[in-house]
Amino acid sequence: MTSLLDIETPAAIVDVARMQRNIARMQDRMNALGVNFRPHVKTTKCTDVADRQRAAGANGITVSTLREAEAFFAAGYDDILYAVCIAPHKLARARQLRDRGCRLTILVDSIEAAHAVVEAKTGRDPFEVLIEVDTDGHRSGVGPEDARLIEIADALHTGGAALRGVLTHAGNSYELDNPRALERLAEQERALSVRAADRLRAAGLPCPIVSVGSTPTALSARALDGVTEVRCGVYVFFDLFMTNVGVCAIDDIALSVLTTVIGHQHDKGWIIVDAGWMAMSRDRGTARQSHDYGYGVACDLEGHPIKEGLVMIAANQEHGILAARDASVLSLSERFPIGTRLRILPNHACATGAQFSQYHAVADDETETWIRFNGW
């Protein structure tokens, strides 16, 4: 893998073999559960990755911004779900995508937004809309038993929008770390979204789609009766946070940051590298989990953790400080001299990826550059 030595540091490295394994694992699971799989491309924002998810059997994509929708539509993706409740002023931009032939589905969770969608309807092509349902209390969505669920659906349907169904995201799964609790939350996510769908149908309203998902629940659900599609994103790269949740192993993590040793503080056992928080992101998600990995775990160029347990214990903008869990490590400057290249596994692949405008995808000693887009 000598080609990594020719890449400027810091850089975002994708281990393509690990990524393909992650893609196959999730797609196989979704196939076995009998649901459509619509990956969330907010993690990678990269058509080279999405192409591989699609080739494995994914059908449609999920996005977190209209910028993603526009970029993926330009790359030939035309079945796109924008899974953040829409701000009314963004309806004009969403309309442009539909007018250009993109089958864009939008999301609402309030009567105000439903009215805005109805008012913004122009031409013959109504907006396709899902209603966000809150199945775990962590963020957005209307409760499955809330009277407003029917009011919103009715406002959309009678107003002429194309009501397509319900959507939920069990984001609380990120707080869990044992299989039974994850399985219970996956079942709660399924059951409450199906309950919301049943209420719509009982009220005579259309609900062909029941869309659920998060990486931990998607990997923990035993059955998905009544669910039509699953969405999730971070599974494609995984990260240290997900190892603590318990849904992947360290050697499943497909994203790392390539860095160079630029100094030492011998008395303290510190190795200074040229990847700081600008490269790793400020995400310290593992700080509140069972195992705190600092800003990341140092690996050799092949992607295997350094056996002494080197962790990035602190980071400034362009400096990372690595220290060994095993404080007896001596002769740091001999073992990791200035100029040594290392790879750092990140806490959170979505946040670390966002710090870069390209990935270096490494497969069989060959390196390709894959463009990533950011912004709104």
In this structure, what token pair is assigned to residue 145? 């038993």
- Measured CA angle at 312 (ends 337, 259), to 5 deg: 50
Give 45's contacts (C-beta < 8 A, 6+ positions apart): 68, 71, 353, 354, 372, 373, 374
Quick one: residue 294, left, alpha or beta (phi over 0 = left, psi -120 to 50 = alpha)?
left
Cβ atoms within 10 A of the Cβ of 206, count? Answer: 14
Query: Cα–Cα distances in Å, from 348 out to 6, 11, 40, 285?
Result: 26, 16, 15, 7
Residue 36 interacts with a second copy (CB under 8 A): yes or no: no
CA 201 – CA 226 distance, rounded (Å):
13
Q: In degrees rounded to 5, what are phi and psi of residue 108?
A: -140, 160
Residue 246 interacts with a second copy (CB under 8 A): yes or no: no
Residue 375 interacts with a second copy (CB under 8 A): yes or no: yes
Cβ atoms within 10 A of the Cβ of 105, count? Answer: 25
Q: In degrees rounded to 5, what are phi and psi of residue 235?
A: -55, -25
By CB under 8 A, name the one of 152, 356, 361, 362 that touches a second copy: 356
**Taking a C-beta distance cutoff of 8 angstroms, is the pair 38, 82 a contact?**
no
* SS3 category, 35: coil
Residue 8 interacts with a second copy (CB under 8 A): yes or no: yes
Residue 140 interacts with a second copy (CB under 8 A): yes or no: yes
Of the listed pieces 94-102, 260-268, 300-308, 323-331, which binds a second copy according to CB under 8 A?
A: 260-268
Residue 334 interacts with a second copy (CB under 8 A): yes or no: no
Residue 317 interacts with a second copy (CB under 8 A): yes or no: yes
Cβ atoms within 10 A of the Cβ of 103, count? Answer: 15
Residue 305 interacts with a second copy (CB under 8 A): yes or no: no
* SS3 category, 366: strand
By CB under 8 A, name the one of 1, 33, 116, 120 that touches a second copy: 116
Residue 319 interacts with a second copy (CB under 8 A): yes or no: yes
Q: Give, as ranges, the residues between 54 and 93 that touch a second copy (CB under 8 A).
A: 64-65, 84-90, 93
Residue 283 interacts with a second copy (CB under 8 A): yes or no: yes
Residue 139 interacts with a second copy (CB under 8 A): yes or no: yes
Q: What's the closest the beta carbon of residue 137 comes to a second copy, in angstroms?
A: 8
End-to-end CA distance of the chain: 35
- The mark string for 284-303 relative to a second copy (x by CB under 8 A, - otherwise) is x-------------------
Comparing CB distances to a second copy, the nearer of 35 and 64 is: 64
Residue 214 interacts with a second copy (CB under 8 A): yes or no: no
**Taking a C-beta distance cutoff of 8 angstroms, is the pair 50, 73 a contact?**
no
Comparing CB distances to a second copy, the nearer of 36 and 65 is: 65
Comparing CB distances to a second copy, the nearer of 67 and 121 is: 67
Comparing CB distances to a second copy, the nearer of 2 and 180 is: 2
Q: What's the closest the beta carbon of residue 277 comes to a second copy, in angstroms?
A: 7
Q: Give, as ranges, the residues between 154 and 213 that touch a second copy (CB under 8 A).
A: 171
Query: Please, what's the largest Cα pairwise distance for the chain?
Result: 73
Of the listed pieces 159-167, 175-183, 215-223, 282-290, which binds a second copy according to CB under 8 A?
A: 282-290
Q: What's the closest the beta carbon of residue 132 comes to a second copy, in angstroms?
A: 8
Give 146's contacts (C-beta < 8 A, 6+ positions apart): none
CA 40 – CA 60 distance, rounded (Å):
9
Residue 277 interacts with a second copy (CB under 8 A): yes or no: yes
What does the binding site for a second copy look like in residue numbers (CB under 8 A)? 8-11, 42, 64-65, 84-90, 93, 109-110, 112-113, 116, 134, 139-140, 171, 260-265, 272, 274, 277-279, 281-284, 314, 316-319, 321, 333, 337-339, 348, 350-351, 354-357, 374-376
